Amino acid sequence: MRFINFSKKPNLNHPILIAGFEGWPNAGCISSDVLTFLKKGLGVKKFAEVNPDLFHKYSNNRPYAKIDGGEVKYLLFSPYEFFYKKSAGFPDLILFLGKEPQLRWKQFTRSFLKLATDFEVAMLITIGGTYDYVTHKQNPWISGVFTDNVLKDKVVASGIKNGQYEGPVSIHTFLLKEAEEIGIKGINIWGHVPQYLTNNNFPITCQILECLKKIVGFDLDLSEIKLNAEELLKQIDLIIQKNPELSKYIERIEKGCHLKKESSFHDKVIQINDFLKKDPQ
């Protein structure tokens, strides 16, 4: 069985591969939103897709269908897709967007990195989102995990902090470690999302895109997403003013952040989406 099906094999010059995954490592839709923005903003073309049958558990994430008048109009499977962009102004790019594999991580990683090796990928960058005890009032917190110190110095200069973590990991870590073993340098970039914000987090997405512009060198117009970020922050502040419970919750997080302690909050996480639905404005 073929794991990756190619519609074409573009001629690329040591491209940078940027990957995003939906699912567990996609807090605030950071991973999917960054890759979706890059796809649209750069005008990429699809050239390959991963066969999901070996890596996707359909009973957990079922295909989507539309039935009308007793007929199945369409049936959609969760895509695992590769795109490319050639440009004279910045390095060639490969973009990947798909759900985090639920099965056979080792086989998925081998197939993924086989593609990277075949195209002589110069650098692997994965994008993720993680919930953290931070607030929307802070500057967006972006952390990174790196394969070498030279790359680390360059990336930290773009505004990314050194990652600190111990616990369960996503496919990002698996890919980074295996890429390092075969000589591909890489970065995992993580946006830290306030736990009370479960909708799309445009401020953090925008900040990661700014970092990518510095690291990769491409030119992107971020004016629209910046406006979305500003509008979201205004909505959040209005909601907080009307909800003392949410305001107190955020104050407690701020105190924990300022003390730089591991948080021990066990009270109910407030979903700001619930307040957005209730707020008439």
CATH assignment at residue 83: 3.40.50.10900
Same domain membership, residue 268 and residue 208: no
Same domain membership, residue 247 and residue 158: no
Last residue of a domain, one of 221, 245, 268: 221
pTM of the model: 0.85
Per-residue pLDDT at 280 exceeds 80: no
Same domain membership, residue 239 and residue 144: no
Q: Which pLDDT value is given to residue 75? A: 82
Q: Phi and psi (nearest 5°) for 160?
A: -95, 135
Domain around 237? 229-278
Same domain membership, residue 9 and residue 117: yes
Same domain membership, residue 82 and residue 191: yes
Per-residue pLDDT at 89 exceeds 90: no
Are the beta carbons of 92 and 14 closer than 8 angstroms? yes
Same domain membership, residue 244 and residue 199: no
Sequence letter at residue 251: E
Q: Which pLDDT value is given to residue 59? A: 66
- 267: CB partners within 8 A, 6+ apart: 249
| Residues 23-76: tens digit of each pLDDT | 889 999 999 999 999 999 999 999 999 877 777 776 677 778 899 888 888 887
Dmax (CA) for the chain in angstroms is: 60
Same domain membership, residue 27 and residue 11: yes
Same domain membership, residue 142 and residue 27: yes
Are the beta carbons of 202 and 225 closer than 8 angstroms? yes
